[in-house]
């Protein structure tokens, strides 16, 4: 990770400024000493954050002795933080970056609005979506964008020019909220792909370096040693990277189209010509088609995880390296060769520097660390199975909705809501889905009988 991306903390006056990238390995304890005399954490210089990084950040904030306030929160980080369970006063969100759309031109800009700004807009508005002026409105329902309104899902017939919305606001809210849930889990699935690729690449690079050192060290003692397993690992990294790029490209295209459809769905609520449900149903149908457009990549998801795991498992690195070094006779190791062997492996322990037996033990520990990294990589590959499950869950829901629209009871939205919520509820197997469900469509989680605590499955 470059210096600009590294997580850093600075203090300017009474404000603690957070910089860089939040990941699952970020050490938030560097913030502790900066908090004396202040409760404000400025997030304006954060570049990005992974889902698992935000999970860890949320837990850190909850464990603090005094409540803190997060300010200048970038949109992509806010979109993750808002999904966290109610912080119960341990921290608050203020000055968040939100998207504003110009209703006629559809031009979008991002602005920072404080909780007070949003509260004033909400109190002064009776529109379906908050307007900052007569021609511009904030993207998203107010209980998705106003921290004060999080998890307040009561529907009401708010003012809107569309007659159909006025008469069917509960149905509109169901479709809009469900599509937000689907879009968010899609974005989280994309984050999962990127996190898997980056983390696995880092681990495999670590393995490659360790194997290369081991093989070079062996050649110092056995000149005719020809194995070159390290180069094979380079091929695995390339295979993984190419596969993840294919997934990311398809998923980015899909999530961008989902956002576009959600925007048009939002604007539909205020249109004068919104007089019949077909306008909304067509959008929801297009949304489902877009979700199902990812079905062709499902075999790629399975292939990447299974093939990468198979390639790693068939290397037999650890056993081969140990066997070769074990077979080297002590009397064949001259002091010069021993010194070269140790230099290649960067063995600094002075107590073993003149002993082949002790040096060999150091080599075995080095190889054990490679074995541990291989185990970590194999465990991480399970993330592709989680990705497959998330996609399959959304496919099942989309197919059920399309089947509903193809029938003769299209206006019976309560029955399809029940069906969709049942499908969502029985597939809440990842934190990404569980938190998104509880935020966007909490009624779908109300009948959940099996709870999945954070980290119970696997987080990225």
Asked which of 79, 94, 109 is the last residue of a domain, the reply is 94
CATH assignment of the domain containing 68: 3.30.750.24
- Residue 451 has what pLDDT? 45
> In this structure, is residue 161 part of a structural domain?
no
Ranges of residues in the chain whose predicted pLDDT is under 50: 1-2, 448-460
CATH assignment of the domain containing 441: 1.20.1170
> In this structure, is residue 3 part of a structural domain?
no
Tell whether pTM > 0.95: no
How buried is 399 (Cβ within 10 angstroms: 0-12 exposed, 13-18 middle, 19+ buried)? middle
- Residue 128 has what pLDDT? 74
- Residue 159 has what pLDDT? 58
User: Is 375 found in the same domain as 277?
Assistant: yes
Question: Per-residue DSSP letters for 313-380?
Answer: HTT-HHHHHHHHHHTS-GGG--HHHHHHHHHHHT---GGGTT-HHHHHHHHHHHHHHHHHHHHHHHHH
> In this structure, is residue 157 part of a structural domain?
no
- Residue 409 has what pLDDT? 83
> In this structure, is residue 452 part of a structural domain?
no
For residue 257, the enclosing domain spans 170-445
- Residue 458 has what pLDDT? 43
User: Is 380 found in the same domain as 320?
Assistant: yes
- Residue 200 has what pLDDT? 92
User: Is 112 found in the same domain as 63?
Assistant: no
- The count of domains in the chain is 3
- The SS3 of residue 77 is helix
Would you say 5 and 21 are in contact if contact means Cβ atoms under 8 Å apart? yes
pLDDT digits (tens, 9 = 90+) for 222-258: 988 887 777 788 889 999 999 999 999 999 999 999 9
User: Is 398 found in the same domain as 428?
Assistant: yes
């Amino acid at each position: 990770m470059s210096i600009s991306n590294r997580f850093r903390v600075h203090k300017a006056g009474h404000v603690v400024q957070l910089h860089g990238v939040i990941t699952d390995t970020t050490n938030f304890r560097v913030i502790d000493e900066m908090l004396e005399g202040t409760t404000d954490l400025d997030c304006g210089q954060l570049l990005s954050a992974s889902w698992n990084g935000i999970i860890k950040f949320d837990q850190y904030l909850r464990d603090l002795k005094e409540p803190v306030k997060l300010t200048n929160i970038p949109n992509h980080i806010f979109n993750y933080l808002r999904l966290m369970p109610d912080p119960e006063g341990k921290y608050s969100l203020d000055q968040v970056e939100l998207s504003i759309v110009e209703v006629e031109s559809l031009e979008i800009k991002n602005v920072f609005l404080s909780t007070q700004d949003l509260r004033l807009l909400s109190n002064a508005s009776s529109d379906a979506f908050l307007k900052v002026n007569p021609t511009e409105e904030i993207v998203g329902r107010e209980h998705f964008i106003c921290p004060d309104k999080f998890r307040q899902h009561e529907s009401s017939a708010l003012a809107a020019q569309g007659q159909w919305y006025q008469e069917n606001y509960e149905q509109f809210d169901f479709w809009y909220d469900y599509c937000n849930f689907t879009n968010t889990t899609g974005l989280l699935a994309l984050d999962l792909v990127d996190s898997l690729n980056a983390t696995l690449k880092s681990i495999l690079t670590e393995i490659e370096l360790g194997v290369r050192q081991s093989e070079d060290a062996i050649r110092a003692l056995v000149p005719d040693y020809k194995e070159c397993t390290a180069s094979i690992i380079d091929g695995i990294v390339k295979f993984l990277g190419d596969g993840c790029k294919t997934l990311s490209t398809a998923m980015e295209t899909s999530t961008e189209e989902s956002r576009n459809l959600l925007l048009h769905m939002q604007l539909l609520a205020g249109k004068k010509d919104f007089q019949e449900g077909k306008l909304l149903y067509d959008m929801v149908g297009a949304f489902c088609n877009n979700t199902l457009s990812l079905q062709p990549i499902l075999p790629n998801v399975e292939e990447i995880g299974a093939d990468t795991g198979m390639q790693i498992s068939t290397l037999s690195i650890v056993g081969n390296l140990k066997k070769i070094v074990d077979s080297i006779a002590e009397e064949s190791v001259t002091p010069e060769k021993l010194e070269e062997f140790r230099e290649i492996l960067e063995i600094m322990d002075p107590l073993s520097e003149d002993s082949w037996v002790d040096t060999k033990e150091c080599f075995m520990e080095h190889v054990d660390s490679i074995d541990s990294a291989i185990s970590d990589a194999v465990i991480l590959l399970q993330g592709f199975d989680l990705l497959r499950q998330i996609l399959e869950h959304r496919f099942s829901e989309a197919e059920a909705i399309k089947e509903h629209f193809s029938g003769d009871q299209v206006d019976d939205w309560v029955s399809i809501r029940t069906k969709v919520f049942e499908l969502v509820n029985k597939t809440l197997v990842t934190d990404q889905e569980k938190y998104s469900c509880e935020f966007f469509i909490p009624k779908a989680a109300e009948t959940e009988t099996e709870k999945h605590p954070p980290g119970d499955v696997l987080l990225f």
